Amino acid sequence: MYSSNYANITQSAIHSNKYGVRIIHDSDHNTITENTITGNNKTGIYMAQSLGFAPDNNTITANRIRNNAAAESPKYEINIGADCANNNITGNALKHAISDSGNDTVVSGNIYSDFIVGPASLFITDFSTIAGAITGASPYSLVHVMSGTYSECIAVNKSLHLRGESRANTSINCCVFGLAAAEIKSDDVNLSEFTINATSGIALQAEDVSNITIEKNLLVGGLGSLEFSNVTNSTAKSNNITDAVLLGKDTQHINISYNFFSGLFLLKSINNNLWMNNFTDSDNEYYQNENDYCVFGLDNRYHESIIDDPPLSCIAEFYNRFNDTAVYANETILFSANTSFGESNYTAINVTINSTNYTLELTAGDNVDGLWTYAFNETVEVGQYVATMLHYIEADDDEGAMGIYYVNFTVSKLNMTTVLNTTIANVTDTIFMEANTTGNATPIENVLAEIYWNGSIKDSTNMTLQSCSGALKDRCRYTLDYNNTERSGNYTVNMTVFAGKTKTNTEEFFVNYGYAEVMLEEMPQLVENGTTTTQWYTITAVGGDLANITSAISINDTTVLNITAAENTTKNTSYIFNKNSTALVWQIEGKSIGTAELNVTTSTANNIAGESKEIWVTSQGDTEAPNVTAVWTQYEEKNSQLFNLNDTMAVYANVTDAYNIDS
C-alpha cells in the first residue's frame, strides 16, 4: 500500500512473497482483517515511513500471521516502524513477536502460538476442539486453547504444548464413565492452565512416558485427580489437585512442587522430590518402595504443621562445578552448587574469586531442584582467575564448610581482524580475503569464510593458514582467493574464527552489473502492405548480469510502418544472467508503400545500446528485394580538375526488380 486510504484487505491468502503486506508513505485508515498471511520471506506485515510520510490510523485485526520472516533474525510477524502513529493491532493469531517502534500503537488481544483452538465462528481459530488440534498439529507445536468449556475427553498421543487461556475460564469436561479427561500417551508433553473435570473417571492420567510437565491446572476427578504409572523425569508444579496424587509402579525422578492436594500415595516409586507443597490432610501412604526408595521432602505444608522430615532419610551430598576453563572477556561464568540430598535450610552460598568473596543469596524456590547457580559477570579484565566455593550459611547462621573445590580459569580476548582487497569488482575479478588472529587464549581451530550473494549462501570454505609468528606463534594469517563471482550484485562475507568460542567479522563487496549487446534479426527486409510480420530482437549480457532492462521500439515514419495496435512500445526484462541472451519480439504492420527506419534501444544500469534497420513496405505479393547490379557517381563537368564543397555529384544505379517497386 502506497498512499492508500480507507482500503480493505480481507479474507485473502497472502504467501510466498517478499513481504506479506507492505504499508508505506501516507497510507492511512486502512483495514486488514481475516487474512491468512504466511510463508513470506520477510515480515508478514511491514509498516514504515517513506519520503517523510508515515502510515497512521490503520487497523490490523483477526488475521492469521505465522511463519514469516524466514530470511530475518530476529523474526517478527508484524513490524511497525518509527513515526507510524495511532495504529491498532488486535486479536491476531501470531507465531513470532511484534516489533513496535511507532507512536501510540494499540497492541492487545493477540495470541502467540502455532495453532489456536476456539469457536469456529472466529477467523483466527484453527480447530474447534482440542482433540482436533491434537490430530492436526505437528509435533512440538504450541497449541493455545481459548477460554470456554470443551466437552470432550482428550488423549495426547504426540509431543505438544497445550496451553489454556487460563485455568479459571478454560475447562475440559469429560463425562464418560471410567475414562480419563486427559490422558498423556507421549513423551515431551506440556499441559498448563486448564480446569480438567472427570465426573466419572480420573482427571489426568499418564503411563509409560517421560519428560512431561503438568503445570498451573485445576484437576477434579471422580475416581482420582492425578495418576502416574511408569513415568520418569517429569514435573507436576503449581497445580490445585482436589484428590490425592498416585505415583505408581516404576515411576521415578518426579519433581512435585508448589501444589495443593489432599495426599500422596507411592507404590514402588523411587527417587522423587517433593518441594513446597500444601497437603490438605494427612492421607499419605508410602509402601512397597523397597530399599532404594527416597523421597526428599522439603518444606511441605501438612495440615498439622510445617515439617521438614522425609519418610526415609537420604544421603546428603554436595558438589560444585562451573561451565568453562578458558573464556573470553565479558563472558559470563556460571558456578553451580548441588545439595539435592543435603539439609534444607541453606540461605546463601559463597563463591571466592581471586580472594574476593561473592555471595549468592537464596530465596524461597531457588532450591526447588537443589541446584543453585551463581553467574559471575566480572570477566572484563584479561588474566588468570582462581575460584573456590567454600561455605554455606544456614538459616540459623551456623556457617560451615561444604567442601573445597578449586577452579583455575583464564580470561582473554578473542581477536581477529579481516580485510578485502576491494569493495567493487567485475565478474572476472578475484577477491582476496585476509583474516589475522592474535593473542588468543586457546588454539585457533580454523577460520571459515561464508559468502552470501544477495542474501543467500553461495559458498562456504575454510581459509588457508599462511603463517604464524610471534614468540607464542599466536599471530596467524589466513587467506582466500575467491573467484566464484559470476553473478552481479551484493556479496557479504562472514569470516568466523573457531577457538572453542567463535568470533565473526563481516565484510561486503559489490560485483558490477554488465553491459547489454543488442541485435536486430536481419529478417524481415520487406513487409507487404496491409500485412503483419514478426521482428525479433536479441539482448545479450556481457561482462556481468543485467537487471531492470527496458527496451523501446521507434519507427521514423509510422504512416509507412508501425507496430500493431496490441503491442506496447516498451518491453521490460527483469534479469539476464551473465553470458546469457533473451529474445524479444514485436509484431510490425505495413501501413503504406514506402521505406521506414526501425530502431530498437535497450537501457540498463550501465549503458544504452541499440540497433536500426531500414524496412521496405511493398505492394502485396512483392516478396523479393530489388537487385542492384551497379552503382556509380559523376560530378558535373568542369574545366578545372579541382572540386569545391557544395559541388553537385550525381549518383546512378542499375536496379532490376521481379515485381514493380513503387518506392
Domain locations along the chain:
8-112, 134-307, 319-401, 416-511, 515-618, 627-656
CA distance 352 to 121: 62
Lowest mean pLDDT among 15-24, 197-206, 286-295, 496-505: 286-295
Buried b (16+ CB within 10 A) or exposed e, 382-397: eeebebbbbbbbeeee
pLDDT attached to residue 340: 45
State the pTM of this model: 0.47
Q: DSSP class of residue 344?
A: S
Tell me the pLDDT band of 523, cut-offs 50, 70 and 90.
confident
Alpha carbon distance, N-terminus to C-terminus of the chain: 55
Distance of alpha carbon 54 from alpha carbon 64, whole angstroms: 25
515-618 carries CATH number 3.30.70.890: no
**From CA 435, how far away is CA 122, in angstroms rounded?**
56
By CB atoms closer than 10 A (0-12, 13-18, 19+), residue 120 is exposed
pLDDT in tens, 73-98: 889 999 999 999 999 999 999 999 99
Indicate the CATH number of 416-511 among 3.30.2000.20, 2.40.340.10, 3.50.50.60, 2.60.40.3880: 2.60.40.3880
For 196-306, where are the alpha helices, taking DSSP H only?
none
Please give the order of strands across the beta sheet that includes 21-24: 21-24, 45-48, 76-80, 97-100
Per-residue pLDDT tens digits for 570-590: 999 999 999 999 999 999 999
Contact predicate 293/272, CB 8 Å: no
pLDDT surpasses 70 at 643: no
In the three-class reduction of DSSP (H, G, I as helix; E, B as strand; rest coil), residue 136 is classed as helix
Q: Which pLDDT band holds residue 373 (cuts at 50, 70, 90)?
A: low
Query: What is the per-residue pLDDT for 533?
Result: 94
> What are the E-state strand segments in 238-355?
240-241, 245-247, 252-257, 260-267, 272-275, 278-287, 295-298, 300-301, 306-307, 319-322, 326-328, 333-338, 346-353
pLDDT for 515:
94
Question: Do the Cβ atoms of 78 and 60 come closer than 8 Å?
Answer: yes
- Contact between 343 and 362 (Cβ < 8 Å): no
Cβ distance 418 to 495 under 8 Å? Answer: yes
For residue 375, give every residue at least 6 positions away whose Cβ sits within 8 Å of its Cβ, in sequence order, or none.
Answer: 332, 333, 334, 335
CATH code of the domain made up of 319-401: 2.60.40
Q: Give the max Cα distance, the chain.
A: 144
CA distance 605 to 263: 79
339, 344, 346, 350 alpha-carbon torsion, rounded to 10°: 0
Q: Of all helices (H) and strands (E), which one includes residue 133? A: helix 130-136
pLDDT band at 651 (very low <50, low <70, confident <90, very high): confident
Determine the pLDDT at residue 389: 60
- Note the pLDDT of residue 500: 67
| Cell numbers for 272 | 522423587
Cα gap 279→304, rounded to integer Å:
9
Of 557 and 397, the structure prediction assigns the larger pLDDT to 557
- Rounded to 5 degrees, what angle do the CA atoms 512, 518, 523 make? 165
